[in-house]
Structure 1
Amino acid sequence: MPFEPIQQEKLSHGVVKQIEGLILRGILRPGERLPSERELSERMEVSRPSLREALADLQDRGLLTSKAGAGVYVADVLGSAFSPALVTLFATHDEAVFDYISFRRDMEGLAAERAARLASDTDLKVINAIFEKMEAAHQKRNPPDEARLDADFHLAIIEASHNMIMLHMMRSMFELLREGVFYNRTVMFKQRMTRDALLDQHRAINAALQRRDPEGARGAIESHLRFVESALFNQQKSERNEVFAKKRLEHEVRK
């Protein structure tokens, strides 16, 4: 008969599965510090030896890392998504920049459509809370905060789509964006007309999600990223024109 005795699961295995699930779902993020051993054992209602066994297993598999005197952290599981050589290529070729935006438009359009259908009420509250922070940062005219919240807003939509593969892939892509590999997002938020348009676009995305309109959410995301693509193209063109304008001025002064 194809049956075997049921064995009670070790407590450490239960701890491992729970932490794995939190990392997989994107709730525990790379670089995030875990609570102290005492707090974790109390929250999870396991003994410290069982907890230590689980944490050691997760560290051996590269999901957690220990820093002497500082505690246990979620490992940088996104760090190997692209090789340093490929990241350098991305940073030095305009084609990669616009391919990146096109890729985002496809992936985030799908994520927004899924989020409108599959997000929980709490997921939508998270997205709305981030948008309200975006409105507050806009009033304060704080471009770095606006750029940071912009990334948080888009990632919250991807999280709300409940596709784990998409979540980790896109989180990796956004890390490169935050590091300025593709373009300097803060510059965009320094331009008044662009800032106002971007806030309106995010408002439209949020509104479509809150009313659970899959087609509207996808369309709003795609429209927003087409605007970003156009704004970036114009920005790059303006920068190139400025280089030649300075040369003309220098030439004129020397006559």
Structure 2
Amino acid sequence: MTIKSIEKQNIVDEVYEQIKNNIVKGVWKPGEKIPSENQLSSMFNVSRVSVRSAIQKLRAVGIISTRHGQGSFVSPSFHESIVNNLIPIMNLSEKEFLDMMEFRETIEFKCIDLAVLRADEADLDQIGKALDKMMASKDDYKKYSSADFEFHLAIAKASKNEILYLVMKNTSAYSHYLEELNRVFGINDDSLQGHIEQFQALKNKDAAKVKELIRRGMEENIVKVRQRMNGS
């Protein structure tokens, strides 16, 4: 069995690759149960959140299946020759991704500036509740993405500018963008930690910090998007 410690960067992708490689090598054969999330977490020295996201990606492409109360199993129909074609496809072009970055830097960043000045306790409570939903939905990218959108929308609402809020609320491309990122790249500790830090910076009335955290995340994501589109 091939096991190596995984560095923090691209944790979910690395866990995904290591599990997939062990299946390809026959360590875990078609129909066999793979180790539990706790065991995989210890084996790879990563969190259960990262393991769960990697398993979700493997399940999405049909490499493994999960049985309630029993665990995860290598798909009986798994075949090594097709494994490299089972990588989730990003249904978002690089141009669309860059357009969304510009949208966020133009509209969302202005909402952040205003929210720092105008947010009251009720607004902060709503943002915090959305963050709690994200933390509770770490193993379901659709629910996590919905809560992720709620988080950013609650910040827009806290701006107290109804037009900016409605623009954010009615931009369906934004929620699609978040769901695609979480579906293809999985949900990892860095994503959650980044949102926790954004919330803390907002409470500290530090708009520059909130925007810096979002911009950093977008820059990291564009690198991953380009790598995925280039097949690397």
Does the CA contact (< 8 Å) of 1:128 and 1:206 recur in 2? yes
Between the aligned partners of 1:178 and 1:155, the Cα distance in structure 2 is: 10
Judged with a 3 Å threshold, the aligned counterparts in structure 2 of structure 1 residues 144 and 238 are, in CA distance, closer, same or farther, namely same
Pairwise CA distance, 1:185: 2.7
CA shift, 1:92, in A, is 7.2
Matched, 1:186 2:182: yes
Distance 1:229 1:102, change over 3 A: farther
Q: Is the 8 A contact 2:141 2:179 kept in 1?
A: no
Q: Which amino acid aligns with 2:157?
A: E
TM-score between both structures, scaled by the size of structure 1: 0.49
Residue aligning to 2:189: 196
- Give 1:156 deviation, angstroms: 0.4
Q: 2:217 aligns with which of 223, 227, 241?
A: 227
CA distance in 1, matches of 2:176, 2:195: 22
- Out of 172, 177, 199, the position equivalent to 2:174 is 177
Q: Which runs of 4+ in 1 moved over 3 A?
A: none
2:191 partner amino acid = L
Alpha-carbon deviation of 1:126? 0.8
**Letter in structure 1 aligned against 2:217:** F
Q: Is the 8 A contact 1:109 1:222 kept in 2?
A: no
Q: Determine the structure 1 residue equivalent to 2:133.
A: 133
- How far apart are 1:177 and its partner, in Å? 2.8
Secondary structure of 1:103's counterpart equals helix
Tell me the amino acid that sits aligned with residue 197 of structure 1.
D
Unaligned 5+ residue runs, structure 1?
A: 1-90, 243-255
State the TM-score, normalized to the length of structure 2. 0.54
Deviation at 1:97, TM superposition (A): 2.0
Q: 3-state SS of the aligned residue for 2:160?
A: coil
1:152–1:189 Cα change, 3 Å: farther
Q: What percentage of aligned pairs have identical amino acids?
A: 23
List runs of 5+ in structure 2 lacking aligned partners. 1-90
* 1:160 alignment partner in structure 2: 158
Cα distance in 2 for residues equivalent to 1:222 and 1:126: 22
Conservation of the 8 A alpha-carbon contact between 2:157 and 2:165 = yes
